[in-house]
């Protein structure tokens, strides 16, 4: 490994230096419906992205009961890269400690600046009481009124009302705005945040493809997983 950096309670390990300049940053962590992780993991698998940096918490927020004894989880998040992209997050969980959360957001911004990134995308779930069909909407919010107007001109739905976006998948937009980097949050509708929401993830992927003008991969496997879950609730 090239180096290890400590920032508060998080360790950062640099594995290699990727040959990349002015990438789009995609950064999201596990949230309700696992939407953030599903999208990040899908992009990494589809584009066969390569790992170049790891963020590792020193203090996990849970233990795993193995049936009579516990094991400590290895809770970490990876930076990967593909052509024109840096992808951060996915995996399981996100920090419950504000210092750790701020450390991760700041590191994503530091990496963005290091490689001259101009844009950050994040995503997650949008909990709604509206009864959904099999095509949930994706709503966006941005770091500026001007950027929001551009989204509306493209026919992209914006978040319908004022709300609080907690955790990494909201706070990273604040860090982007404070550092002069444009950011967009994409949030897929869901009714049941306690189960994986593959259709919300698919909706986000399709919207992200429209915004980035690039194909991110075949979502048929996600469709199959969505069908499996839907059938299990029908029985």
Owner of token pair 């701020």: 102
**What pLDDT is recorded for position 58?**
76
Quick: pLDDT tens for 72-106. 877 889 999 999 999 999 877 788 788 889 999 99
Quick: pLDDT tens for 146-187. 999 999 999 999 998 887 888 999 999 999 999 999 999 999
CA max distance for the chain: 58
Report the alpha-carbon distance of residue 235 to residue 230 in Å, rounded.
9
**Least confident window among 6-15, 115-124, 138-147, 205-214:** 6-15
Quick: pLDDT tens for 11-60. 999 999 999 999 999 999 999 999 999 999 999 999 999 999 999 887 76
Q: What is the 3-state secondary structure (H, E, C) of the chain?
A: CCEEEEECCEEEEECCCCCCCCCEEEEEECCHHHHHHHHHHHHHHHHCCEEEEEEEECCCCCCEECCCCEECCCCEEEEEEECCEEEEEECCCCCCCHHHHHHHHHHHHHHHHHCCCCEEEEEEEEECCCCCCCCCCEEEEECCHHHHHHHHHCCCCECCCCCCCCCHHHHHHHHHHHCCCEEEEEEEEECCCCCCCHHHHHHHHHHHHHHHCCCCCCCHHHHHHHHHHHHHHHC
Ordered structural domains, the chain, with CATH: 3-234 (3.40.50.10900)
- Is the pTM for the entire model greater than 0.85? yes
Q: Are 169 and 124 in contact (CB under 8 A)?
A: yes
Which band of pLDDT confidence, cut at 50, 70 and 90, is reported for residue 130?
A: confident
Specify which residues 81 forms β-bridges with.
50, 86
């Amino acid at each position: 490994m090239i180096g290890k950096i400590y920032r508060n309670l998080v360790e950062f390990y640099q594995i290699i230096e990727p040959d990349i300049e002015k990438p789009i940053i995609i950064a999201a962590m596990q949230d309700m419906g696992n939407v953030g992780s599903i999208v990040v993991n899908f992009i990494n698998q589809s584009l066969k992205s390569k790992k170049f940096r790891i963020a590792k918490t020193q203090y996990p927020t849970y233990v795993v009961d193995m049936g009579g004894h516990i094991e400590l989880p290895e809770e970490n998040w990876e930076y990967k890269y593909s052509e024109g992209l840096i992808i951060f997050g996915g995996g399981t969980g996100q920090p419950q400690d504000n210092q750790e959360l701020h450390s991760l957001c700041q590191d994503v911004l530091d990496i963005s600046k290091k490689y001259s990134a101009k844009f950050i995308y994040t995503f997650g779930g949008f909990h709604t009481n509206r009864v959904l069909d099999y095509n949930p909407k994706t709503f966006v919010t941005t770091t500026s009124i001007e950027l929001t107007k551009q989204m509306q001109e493209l026919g992209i739905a914006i978040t319908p009302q004022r709300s609080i976006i907690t955790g990494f998948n909201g706070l990273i937009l604040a860090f982007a705005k404070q550092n002069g980097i444009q950011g967009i949050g994409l949030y897929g509708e869901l009714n049941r945040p306690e189960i994986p929401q593959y259709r919300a993830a698919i909706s986000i992927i399709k919207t992200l493809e429209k915004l980035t003008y690039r194909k991110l991969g075949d979502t048929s496997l996600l469709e199959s997983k969505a069908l499996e879950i839907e059938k299990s609730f029908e029985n």
